[in-house]
Amino acid sequence: MGPKRELKFALESFWDGKSTAEDLEKVATDLRASIWKQMADAGIKYIPSNTFSYYDQVLDTTAMLGAVPERYSWTGGEIGFDTYFSMARGNATVPAMEMTKWFDTNYHFIVPELGPNTKFSYSSHKAVNEYKEAKALGLDTVPVLIGPVSYLLLSKPAKGVEKGFPLLSLLSGILPVYKEVIAELKAAGASWIQFDEPTLVLDLDSHQLAAFSAAYAELESALSGLNVLVETYFADVPAESYKTLTSLSSVTAYGFDLVRGTQTLGLVTSAGFPAGKYLFAGVVDGRNIWADDLATSLSTLQSLEAVVGKDKLVVSTSCSLMHTAVDLVNETKLDSEIKSWLAFAAQKVVEVDALAKALAGHKDEAYFAANAAAQASRKSSPRVTNEEVQKAAAALKGSDHRRATTVSARLDAQQKKLNLPVLPTTTIGSFPQTVELRRVRREYKAKKISEEEYVTAIKEEISKVVKIQEEFDIDVLVHGEPERNDMVEYFGEQLSGFAFTANGWVQSYGSRCVKPPIIYGDVSRPNPMTVFWSKTAQSMTSRPMKGMLTGPVTILNWSFVRNDQPRFETCYQIALAIKKEVEDLEAAGIQVIQIDEAALREGLPLRKAEHAFYLDWAVHSFRITNCNIQDTTQIHTHMCYSNFNDIIHSIIDMDADVITIENSRSDEKLLSVFREGVKYGAGIGPGVYDIHSPRIPSTEEIADRINKMLAVLDTNILWVNPDCGLKTRKYTEVKPALTNMVSAAKLIRTQLASAK
């Protein structure tokens, strides 16, 4: 099953009250021991600890610092699971903290809420406890902490705190806690400590860079006697940040992502590297599943060795391996040729060890030869290239693929056909994925039930979901996606150029795991993918039924993508495949089609200079999917759990008729962009309640949110919907929440009518 899925089931069992905290801790302890042993057996010298999290590492740091918002009524002492998971998921009385994406990945983190009155105290000994746990197994690990400056830069002012509050002013408050942790680690016998400071790859100003110098100068005495590694990842380190980082006297070693940060390699070789310091060279890709080109990496390492020195160069992955699948050994059904091109986490640590040994003069010639043969096989394989697809994608140049009429004209035409009320209600797509539903899909894949039995079961589930929505009086319905385990995997299984794993799970947050498909070749759509189920659902109701699709940018960003051509070329290919599906849905009589682009913001490059190019091809890809449909067909899109305010003009440029977008989990941050004067003319549904929390919002609470939206958005464009899909929730939570949502919409409609 793999450690990520084991943790998922252990967490869900604990949350459901089926197991105890001791049961959960035992699962975690066994998983950590297994992972540490695997790395030790592979020959890894610097084994990290404190990288295992029950939810995410930023929340772990919030717990370590005792930075618990007042609403959770924490009274001090060691933070336990109740407080920890309340911050992550909310509880019956208070909402969860905001959740957003970890840089440009599909991993999420809980955003710290800080202010001038936040009191910090050492309140979680997790880092020290896990170091001691590993030491008891005979392993001297490198404890990993989120660095103090990155922690503050990733935080936000708490509710009621001035928006411009200088979060870095809290350094003096958190550093004493870091000193306590460092002192305990030293006392426990640690010889190395790692601080992750990934914000160093962002566009930082001089004040922010000065904070790094100040923080590590303040920690210097506490760090005395330790080897200190500061790790960066996901992009190039800018020249000024490189200069600041390499001048920190308390730091022994620097870690750089040399896969996504190729220009950093130039800084090391041309701008110089401090004498006597270690370089952790991230040459093995920690974010993808392709086997490393060992010959190329070895050449890179040899050039670095000439600059850094033989005894100061450490071979590493580009980032944590949490972003890739666990072990290729578990993939017994994967095509053998494609499998030879891949390396999951277990294989990547072997690659790291092989490169280190080769650098030391002990090259495994057979291993390197097999790697070279696999690289050559991938480059020459006919299954990678489809000339027809490449020609179609190349033909896209020269057009921006916009629909012929304005969004206001289209909305008028759609309203005449759909006849929706003011403040129309809808949901985002998925409904609860019950145990029975998962069993049906599992048995069908295992050929334990026939296709006829499977279709009957799925039709029954769709019928149930349709009836529930009609009973609640929802205006635009969804079929609930009972045939789909995952929104990207489902489409990838029906597109050419994709491969699938049985156990390639990756943690997204907490218990949420995804199994990204592998895009190995040119992409096309051999057959319709959703038309049968959408037609079936529409036949069960007279209300509009959405056709539900995943957009090209989201399919791209939530897959392991081929690295032998630019990402935008692959995205255009996917866009053409989705375009065919959109046109087939329209031809089948589906009047509302949702093309989710939940991950569009996620893929935004970390450096501002690269934003425009990405947004141009990403937005263009979305427009390609629906450029030829009729004005009366309403195109929706959906986005969630990212900061959208800085790309609002690109969202407008997508030219969708309606966008539903996460809003309540982020404390209505989205609405501020409209308060600041941005005009939005298309339909928009900022989420009215958080679906990642078991908490059920009241009718009054939702009505209050709708009124806040109406203060900045026109009545005739506002939709009412949850933040996101409902697949992770139970029906006992979904039914009252949706009932209250519809009641709130009707309440506001009545108030608006009486005010005329």
| Residues constituting the chain | 756
C-alpha closest to that of 482 among 467, 503, 512, 460: 460
Six token digits for residue 195: 């601080």
429 among annotated binding-site residues: yes
Contacts of 438 (CB under 8 A, 6+ apart): 485
430 among annotated binding-site residues: yes
Whether 323 is catalytic: no
480 among annotated binding-site residues: no
CA 43 to centroid of chain Cα atoms? 31
Catalytic residue among 108, 479, 636, 692: 692
Contacts of 370 (CB under 8 A, 6+ apart): none
174 among annotated binding-site residues: no
The CA distance from 148 to 53, in Å, is 18
Six token digits for residue 90: 């909310």
Q: What is the dihedral of CA 49, 54, 56, 62, to 10 degrees?
A: -90
Sign of CA dihedral 291, 296, 301, 302: positive
Six token digits for residue 529: 């993918």
User: What's the number of CA atoms in the CB half-sphere (13 Å) around residue 36?
Assistant: 26
Six token digits for residue 120: 């910090």
627 among annotated binding-site residues: no
| Phi, psi for residue 575 in degrees, rounded to 5 | -60, -40
Sheet of strand 253-257, all strands in order from the earlier edge strand to the far edge: 48-49, 142-146, 192-196, 227-231, 253-257, 278-284, 313-317
The CA distance from 39 to 143, in Å, is 15
558 among annotated binding-site residues: yes
3, 326, 506, 566 from 7: Cα distances, Å: 6, 13, 11, 35
Question: Cβ atoms within 10 A of the Cβ of 330, count?
Answer: 17
512 among annotated binding-site residues: yes
Alpha helices (H) in 200-335, listed in sequence order: 206-223, 239-246, 262-266, 294-308
The CA distance from 617 to 603, in Å, is 11
**Is there a contact between 294 and 351 (Cβ–Cβ < 8 Å)?**
yes
Sign of CA dihedral 283, 36, 53, 10: positive
The CA distance from 440 to 485, in Å, is 11
471 among annotated binding-site residues: no
Find tokens 């009957």 and name the residue.
456
Contacts of 428 (CB under 8 A, 6+ apart): 478, 594, 638, 660, 691, 721, 722, 723, 724, 725, 726
8 among annotated binding-site residues: yes
513 among annotated binding-site residues: yes
Six token digits for residue 287: 């974010």
CA angle 484–442–514, rounded 5-degree value: 50
**Is there a contact between 590 and 549 (Cβ–Cβ < 8 Å)?**
no
Q: Is 663 left (phi over 0), alpha (psi -120 to 50) or beta?
A: alpha
567 among annotated binding-site residues: no
The CA distance from 654 to 673, in Å, is 17
Q: Are strands 560-561 and 506-509 parallel, antiparallel or unpaired?
A: unpaired
The CA distance from 592 to 576, in Å, is 19
160, 678, 724 from 667: Cα distances, Å: 11, 19, 15
Q: Give binding residues as ranges.
A: 8, 106, 428-430, 481, 512-513, 558, 596, 638, 640, 649, 653, 662, 724
Q: Give binding residues for 5-methyltetrahydropteroyltri-L-glutamate as ranges.
A: 8, 106, 512-513, 558
Q: Give binding residues for L-homocysteine as ranges.
A: 428-430, 596
Residues known to be catalytic: 692
Q: Give binding residues for Zn(2+) as ranges.
A: 638, 640, 649, 653, 662, 724
